[in-house]
Amino acid sequence: MSRLILFNKPYGVICQFTPESGHQSLKDFIPFPSFYPAGRLDADSEGLVLLTNDGKLQNKISHPKFKLPKTYWVQVEGEPDEPTLAKLRQGVVLNDFKTQPAQASLMDEPSCLWPRTPPIRFRKNIATTWMSLVLNEGKNRQVRRMTAAVLFPTLRLIRYAIGQYTVQGIAPGEWRIVQ
């Protein structure tokens, strides 16, 4: 039977079941070794990871040809303006490719936000801003590379949603079976 798990990955956890280099892994949270992540988040990112025991569903969730939107909440250093958001919306040229257009908007700090351990680095004289980015692709460290390319480095990155599924109501380190 095809099953799907929604997991709120904490900061510092790697998206694999095999432990590595002092990081916690999915094995520390998910007691089902027959499940695999449909896509990944790097250890420095938090938020929604979908896991399934069905290879076809895993492919449908993670393969770019299905264009499943992924919504990220991004805290950046500085205060992006409308021309900066327009660059993100048009696609950003990185060293090895140009990103597809993204939906990009400023947002208030999420009211349901949990504390991060360790906390992000704040600089006294530099403001931070929250943005929402919606991508239909997901290359390695893409959001961080995009914000750096428009000169607003990412301080905190949370994947809030993948398609219809969100991390809403799931605390860091917790999971929920939805099918």
Backbone angles phi, psi at 85, to 5 degrees: -60, -40
Peptide bond between residue 80 and the one before it cis (omega within 30 degrees of 0)? no
- Partnered with residue 71 across adjacent β-strands are 134, 161
The span from the CA of 133 to the CA of 147, in Å, is 10
Three-class SS state of 26: helix
Given the residues 28, 42, 54, 108, select the one marked as catalytic: 42
Active site residue 42: yes
Q: Which residues are catalytic?
A: 42
